[in-house]
Amino acid sequence: MTSRVRGLLVLALPLLLSGCSSAGYYSQLVTGQWNLLQAREPVSKVIVDPRRPTVLREQLAKAQAARSFASEHLHLPDNQSYRLYADLKRQYVVWNVFATPAYSLDPVTHCFPIAGCVAYRGYYSQGAARGEAALQHQQGMDVFVSGVEAYSTLGWFDDPILNGMLNWGDERLATLIFHELAHQQFYVKDDTEFNESFASFVEQEGTRQWRVEQGLPPSDGSHVQQREQFITLVLDTRQRLKTLYAQPLPAAEMQQRKTAAFERMRRDYRQLRDEQWAGNPRYDAWVNGPLNNAKLLPFGLYDQWVPAFSALFKHVGGDWPSFYAEVEQLGKLPPEQRKAALYKWAER
Q: Are the CB atoms for 77 and 177 separated by under 8 Å?
A: no
Residue 218, pLDDT score: 77
Q: How far is CA 268 from CA 233, 257, 278, in A?
A: 8, 16, 15
Residues 6+ apart with CB under 8 A from 346: 305, 307, 308, 311
Which helix (H) or strand (E) segment is 232 a member of? helix 222-245
Instruction: Pick the closest to residue 174 from 66, 47, 84 (CA basis).
Output: 66
Distance of CA 197 to the CA centre of its chain: 9
d(CA 73, CA 207): 11
Convert 121-143 into a string of H (helix), E (strand) and C (coil).
EEECCHHHHHHHHHHHHHCCEEE
Residue 18, pLDDT score: 34
Residues 6+ apart with CB under 8 A from 67: 82, 83, 177
Distance, first Cα to last Cα, the chain: 50
If 0-12 CB within 10 Å is exposed, 13-18 middle and 19+ buried, where does residue 221 land?
A: exposed
Q: Are the CB atoms for 295 and 283 separated by under 8 Å?
A: no
Residue 95 falls in which region: left (phi positive, over 0), alpha (psi -120 to 50) or beta:
beta
Look up residue 271 and give its amino acid.
Q
Angle formed at CA 187 by CA 235 and CA 80, multiple of 5 degrees: 120
Q: Are the CB atoms for 282 and 141 separated by under 8 Å?
A: no
d(CA 182, CA 178): 6
Q: Are the CB atoms for 309 and 201 separated by under 8 Å?
A: yes
Q: What is the pLDDT along the chain (348 residues), one digit of tens a residue?
A: 344 443 443 333 333 333 345 778 889 999 999 999 999 999 999 999 999 999 999 999 999 999 999 999 999 999 999 999 999 999 999 999 999 999 999 999 888 776 678 888 999 999 999 999 999 999 999 999 999 988 889 889 999 999 999 887 889 899 999 999 999 999 998 888 899 999 999 999 999 999 999 998 877 667 878 988 999 999 999 999 999 999 999 999 999 999 999 999 999 999 999 999 999 999 999 999 999 999 998 886 677 899 999 999 999 999 999 999 999 999 999 999 999 999 999 998
d(CA 247, CA 252): 13
Query: β-strand 40-42 against 110-112: which pairing, if any?
Result: unpaired
Q: Are the CB atoms for 29 and 137 separated by under 8 Å?
A: no
Residue 114, pLDDT score: 65
**Side by side, which strands form the sheet with 94-101?**
121-123, 94-101, 141-148
